[in-house]
Amino acid sequence: MSKANGQSYGKLIVFTAPSGAGKTTIVKHLLANNPDLTFSVSACTRPQRQGEVDGREYYFMNNSEFLEKVAAGKFLEWEEVYEDTYYGTLKSEIERIRQTGKHVVFDIDVEGALNIKKTYGNEALCVFVQPPSEEVLIQRLRGRNTEQARSLDMRIQKASAELAYASKFDKVLVNDELSLALSTAQTLVNDFLNTN
């Protein structure tokens, strides 16, 4: 926890990975078991999936709304992840959580994670969740059955390219056996939160 003018601010814990590596499962587990962690809800322009709630999984926006916020400097980081599909982290979301003294947990793409690390430095722990192999990652993505073929192909291409980024992060967590990955993630978070 850092302090500014007597006010305590939470730390930032970033989980990033290629799509399908399991970062969302790990983040949900950490949030369910650590009351001092709060999820940073990203903004995006992709279609809302069945069961998703605006403001819980994402802040869903259309492209013009999103780009207006970009132009106004409202994002800490943002990216056109796929053609005409934008994702980003609103500055207001981070400050809202940090001012409560809780720690902010992110589940974001690789470029966004690098931007957060660049901005917050040692106040942020960035963990790259790696699948046991590229083949396993592709199987997981195909097994979801949540996307059209063109969208799935784009996701697979991007995921394959993102695997090369692992060495740029503070820690790499291989998600081969889920129970082990969950306990390792908890240890990484505990160690980070217990350092000044």
The answer to whether the Cα torsion of 45, 51, 52, 57 is positive or negative is negative
Q: Which two tokens stand for residue 169?
A: 């992060």
Query: How far, in Å, CA of 167 to CA of 177, rounded?
Result: 21
> At 178, phi and psi to the nearest 5?
-55, -45
Q: Which two tokens stand for residue 118?
A: 């660049």
In which residue are the tokens 């106004």 written? Answer: 72
Query: How far, in Å, CA of 173 to CA of 157, rounded?
Result: 21
Of 34-43, 66-75, 158-167, where does mean pLDDT reach its minimum? 158-167
Contact 71, 88 (CB under 8 A): no
Nearest CA to 77 out of 119, 129, 39, 37 is that of 119
Give pLDDT, residue 134: 76
Residue ranges per structural domain of the chain = 2-193
pTM higher than 0.85 for the full model?
A: no
In which residue are the tokens 């983040």 written? Answer: 27
The answer to whether the Cα torsion of 23, 57, 145, 148 is positive or negative is negative
Identify the band that residue 129 occupies on the pLDDT scale cut at 50, 70 and 90: very high
Contact 12, 124 (CB under 8 A): yes
Identify the band that residue 21 occupies on the pLDDT scale cut at 50, 70 and 90: confident
Residue-wise pLDDT tens digits, 46-79: 999 999 999 998 999 999 999 999 999 999 999 8
Nearest CA to 110 out of 2, 196, 14, 35 is that of 14
Give pLDDT, residue 144: 64
Q: Does domain 2-193 have CATH number 3.40.50.300?
A: yes
The answer to whether the Cα torsion of 134, 112, 185, 196 is positive or negative is positive
Mean pLDDT, rounded, of the chain: 88
Give pLDDT, residue 162: 84
Identify the band that residue 83 occupies on the pLDDT scale cut at 50, 70 and 90: confident
pLDDT more than 90, % of the chain: 61
Q: Which two tokens stand for residue 124?
A: 């942020």
Query: How far, in Å, CA of 180 to CA of 160, rounded?
Result: 24
Q: Which residues contact 44 (CB under 8 A, 6 or more apart)?
A: 58, 59, 60, 61, 66, 85, 86, 87, 88
